[in-house]
Structure 1
Amino acid sequence: MTTLAADREIEHLMTLHPKGFDLSLDRITRLLERLGNPQERLPPVIHIAGTNGKGSCAAFSRALLEAAGHLVHVHTSPHLVNWHERYRLAAEGGGKLVDDQVFAEAIARVAKANQGQKITVFEILTAVTFILFSEHPAEAAIIEVGLGGRFDATNVIERPAVSVIMPISMDHEAYLGDRVELIAAEKAGIMKRGCPVVIGAQESETALEVLIETAERLDCPTVVYGQDFLAFEENGRMVYQDEDGLMDLPLPRLPGRYQFANAAAAIAAVKAAGFEIGHRAAEKAMAKVAWPARMQKLSQGKLVDLAPKGAEIWLDGGHNPGAGVVIAEALAEQEEKNPRPLILISGMINTKDQSGYFSAFKGLARHVYTVPVSKSDAGVPNDELALRATEAGLSAEPVSSVASALMLLRDSWDGPAPRILIGGSLYFAGAVLDENGTPPT
């Protein structure tokens, strides 16, 4: 797929408009009015907010609906390699990433309607979502929040079929607040009066209380993980349970026990949105679900070829302490099944709690190679990142690139083939997929 036309449009927008976020809905509302309010002509919307697990919930929701035979649009952010990944348009047999020319034309239309007014590129690209999703037929649209909830540009959707709040933890404190209850209040901003709400597994009781109180105040029919629905492993299967009974399903294709809760939230969300999901469709969805750079096993590619022979390589874009904990748990599960020495190759950006992320791997990872994040101005220098890993109690050293780390490892490795986790940032994970020659499709 050629990406030149849409990329040119976006690069031009980047020169005109400020980077960053506008935490109000005034500009996007004004722009959408000029476009004829396409957000009012969407199919039923599953609107997903949260700190961790949003993308996995979107992936499971898509897999469930498509397995049941529905046509589904999906909007997620950020992208890993190409901007087109943010827009998956409904198609028979499964949604496809937006065609480059269709994408470029939609961007040009939205930019023209904006008439040079002050706006962010994310707001323009959110308006593009609504243009594309309103003009191509589908039976459902899954829309992931970009940042926060209350003032996110996607929050102009007035009557979602369901609002989903995934696990909340500390992230983006500069924008959302420095206490988990403040962040929860921002995420709860996507709830709309009388519309169904699904609350995913919450680590924080404080966050859960804020979410439930908000839903009650808005008279939203609400289901809560651990109270109204849940999922657990039994006899090598995943069991989903809610008031309708049990579903005995295969383990999700996405590894890690934490994905059970993400899958459960998606099943609850799709049902709350009014779709019937039979047992056979749910089974098919668990086997087919895919979500790049989230505990993704890399088995081929240019970088994989540089690793020690027989190495097991995982890629994950999780980047905050909450993500670190669930990734470390997933790797500990792998260690139980198949013991191997764990090596990290990490790149992070400076808006994240690097020491908090690394501390999750203490006692699990044997060594960390820290590398620069080439695709972000906010990348933490590799020597500074090595210091953060050392502060978290890990053995660490800076190297110039992922390729260098893999070759160093290959040339010096002696012992059983290692398990390697490459991650620490979605920007970084995207650059790795690009360099490996395996971008999302």
Structure 2
Amino acid sequence: MKTRKILKRLLQLHHKGEPSTLIRIKRLLKDLNSPENKISNLIQVVGTNSKHSLIASAREIFETAGYTCNVNISPSLRSFNERYYFSGKYISDEKLSDLLIEVEQVNNNKSISFHEIITVAWILHASRKKADISIVEAGALFRLDSSNVFQKNICSVVMPIGIDHLEFLKEGTIDEIVYEKCSHLLNGSKIFVSEQKNDVLEKIKKNIANNSSKKFILGEDYKYKKNNNGFIYEDKLGKINLPLPNLLGDFQLGTVSTAIAVARNLNQFKITDSHIKEAITKIRSEGRLQNITQGKLRKYVSESNQIIVDGAHNPLGFSVIKKYLETLDKERKIFLVLAMMSSKQHKACIQILKEKVHSITTLDIPNQTNFIKKEELSKIAQSCGVPSKTGDSIEDALKNIASENENAIILCIGSLYFAGEILNLN
């Protein structure tokens, strides 16, 4: 309860009309004696999609090999504490409260944003609670993101890039997005680039051409290939025959392969093939094509109904989901339960899946304010030619779909916040 009150107060913070800048957060870090400079073996992760899955995969590999990890993600899924992971544990409410209050007091009512102050809190605690590796996920973009305050790292990882967060952009083009995410990656370490669309990959290469870091490009410097027994990972160090990870969607193999490339090619650590094989089977990525096989929500559907939860919220993410849906049993109808934030590309996302789904039930996102109203979202779906109606709640939507089709695949999608609410309900 104390943490909630503090976060509610901090959410009121803003930078009083000032332009986007790193000046505020750098000033606060300096007032705290520059804790960012005390963090070693830093891995920075940028991109539009799959950052969380990459971090979960890399962390599992490193921890299986006996290394400790500090991790900062954004946004969180089920609990705010998920953003603060230190050496195998999420931070406690008590410790998080004390940490946020400490940073707030040092800031002393000076201009700062919510995202800046919570990032500083993680950096401060990470500087005190040392780990072998620190992994930081960039926010909406990177160039002016509060995660871009470090002077050195051991690598940057570029995950799939696509159109998103248009509210932060001037032009809203893929060129601008690639520039924001890749033009200011740190020099002199290593850069790993995961699966990208061909045109996007060329833009990334152009943006990092003058970066002195050694580059590792998926498809060029490391590869993977699925087979009957799992998949084969290959780089200059050799091949590894691996079991399939416990993750839905073949696209996850690209994410996992990038995590393997990072772990194998960082000379600071000794990662064996055995470590990787063991870790692969333990990787979990909540809210990413997560199959709900047990829990409270199962009572609203039949035994043969399948519930899948995914936080996809942009056209690139929906395109990945479309590819996954194409692998499913064509005899089973797919019903969409959709809820989205107001700033997203609603029509573009629905257009991608309209040929794959039988109908769409739209919902508001509980415990959020900046969501698109379910009535408006339903109208957009109908304008795309998809039968659509509004629902009263997640439970109501599941119950109604199950009563209509007891063999249906129910895909709940549209927002990480929505995915988190569903998982908390379950």
TM-score (norm 2): 0.95
Distance 2:42 2:33 in 1: 19
* Aligned-residue offset at 1:430: 1.3
Aligned partner of 1:417 in structure 2 is 407
Deviates more, 1:274-283 or 1:141-150: 274-283
Q: Deviations over 1:271-308 (max 9, x none)?
A: 34333321111112211111111111112222221123
* Aligned-residue offset at 1:79: 1.1
Measured at CA, do residues 20 and 406 of structure 1 come closer, stay the same or move farther in structure 2, by a change above 3 Å?
farther
Distance 1:252 1:25 in 2: 38
* Aligned-residue offset at 1:344: 0.9
Question: For 2:10, which of 9, 13, 38 is the aligned residue?
Answer: 13
Aligned partner of 2:108 in structure 1 is 115
Secondary structure at 1:154's aligned position in 2? coil
Question: For 1:145, which of 134, 138, 142 is the aligned residue?
Answer: 138
Residue 305 of structure 2 contacts residue 402 of structure 2 at CA under 8 Å; is this kept in 1? no
Secondary structure at 2:209's aligned position in 1? helix
Question: Root-mean-square deviation (CA), in Å?
Answer: 1.9
Q: Deviations over 1:140-159 (max 9, x none)?
A: 01110011011110111111
Aligned partner of 2:360 in structure 1 is 368
Question: For 2:190, which of 196, 208, 215 is the aligned residue?
Answer: 196
Aligned partner of 2:283 in structure 1 is 289
Aligned partner of 1:40 in structure 2 is 37
Q: Deviations over 1:46-84 (max 9, x none)?
A: 100001111111111111111111111111111123210
Residue 165 of structure 1 contacts residue 200 of structure 1 at CA under 8 Å; is this kept in 2? yes
Distance 1:299 1:149 in 2: 36
1:432 aligns with 2:413: no
Residue 39 of structure 1 contacts residue 156 of structure 1 at CA under 8 Å; is this kept in 2? yes
Aligned partner of 1:74 in structure 2 is 71
Measured at CA, do residues 401 and 289 of structure 1 come closer, stay the same or move farther in structure 2, by a change above 3 Å?
same
The size of the alignment, in residue pairs, is: 424
Aligned partner of 1:335 in structure 2 is 329
* Aligned-residue offset at 1:20: 11
Secondary structure at 1:157's aligned position in 2? coil
Residue 163 of structure 1 contacts residue 190 of structure 1 at CA under 8 Å; is this kept in 2? no
Aligned partner of 2:119 in structure 1 is 126
Residue 31 of structure 1 contacts residue 113 of structure 1 at CA under 8 Å; is this kept in 2? yes
Distance 2:370 2:18 in 1: 15
Distance 1:20 1:255 in 2: 43
Aligned partner of 1:358 in structure 2 is 350
Partner letter of residue 421 of structure 1?
Answer: L
Residue 311 of structure 2 contacts residue 413 of structure 2 at CA under 8 Å; is this kept in 1? yes
Q: Deviations over 1:389-431 (max 9, x none)?
A: 2333322211222111112123333xx5211111111111111
Aligned partner of 1:324 in structure 2 is 318
Aligned partner of 2:294 in structure 1 is 300
* Aligned-residue offset at 1:190: 4.4
Distance 1:36 1:88 in 2: 22
* Aligned-residue offset at 1:187: 0.5
Aligned partner of 2:21 in structure 1 is 24
Residue 106 of structure 1 contacts residue 132 of structure 1 at CA under 8 Å; is this kept in 2? yes
1:378 aligns with 2:370: yes
Residue 381 of structure 2 contacts residue 388 of structure 2 at CA under 8 Å; is this kept in 1? yes
Secondary structure at 1:304's aligned position in 2? helix
Distance 1:211 1:363 in 2: 31
Measured at CA, do residues 223 and 19 of structure 1 come closer, stay the same or move farther in structure 2, by a change above 3 Å?
farther
Distance 1:197 1:20 in 2: 35
Distance 2:361 2:393 in 1: 9
* Aligned-residue offset at 1:382: 1.3
1:171 aligns with 2:168: no
TM-score (norm 1): 0.92
Q: Deviations over 1:102-127 (max 9, x none)?
A: 11111111111111011111100000
Distance 1:251 1:19 in 2: 49
Secondary structure at 1:113's aligned position in 2? helix
Residue 321 of structure 1 contacts residue 353 of structure 1 at CA under 8 Å; is this kept in 2? yes
Deviates more, 1:40-49 or 1:231-240: 231-240
Residue 343 of structure 1 contacts residue 368 of structure 1 at CA under 8 Å; is this kept in 2? yes
Distance 2:246 2:366 in 1: 30
Partner letter of residue 234 of structure 1?
Answer: N
Residue 183 of structure 2 contacts residue 208 of structure 2 at CA under 8 Å; is this kept in 1? no
Aligned partner of 1:280 in structure 2 is 274
Percent identity among equivalent residues?
A: 29
* Aligned-residue offset at 1:256: 0.5
Secondary structure at 1:81's aligned position in 2? coil
Partner letter of residue 68 of structure 1?
Answer: A
Distance 1:112 1:242 in 2: 49
Distance 1:225 1:268 in 2: 9
Partner letter of residue 408 of structure 1?
Answer: N
Residue 87 of structure 1 contacts residue 129 of structure 1 at CA under 8 Å; is this kept in 2? yes
Distance 1:141 1:332 in 2: 37
Secondary structure at 1:360's aligned position in 2? helix
Distance 1:81 1:130 in 2: 21
Aligned partner of 1:439 in structure 2 is none
Aligned partner of 1:309 in structure 2 is 303
Distance 2:219 2:286 in 1: 27
- Give 5+ residue unaligned stretches, structure 1: 437-441
Aligned partner of 2:56 in structure 1 is 59
Distance 2:16 2:124 in 1: 22
The 5 Å alignment of 1:226-241 reads 226-241=219-234
Aligned partner of 1:89 in structure 2 is 86
Distance 1:282 1:20 in 2: 48
* Aligned-residue offset at 1:380: 1.2
Distance 1:195 1:376 in 2: 39
Question: For 2:218, which of 205, 225, 228 is the aligned residue?
Answer: 225
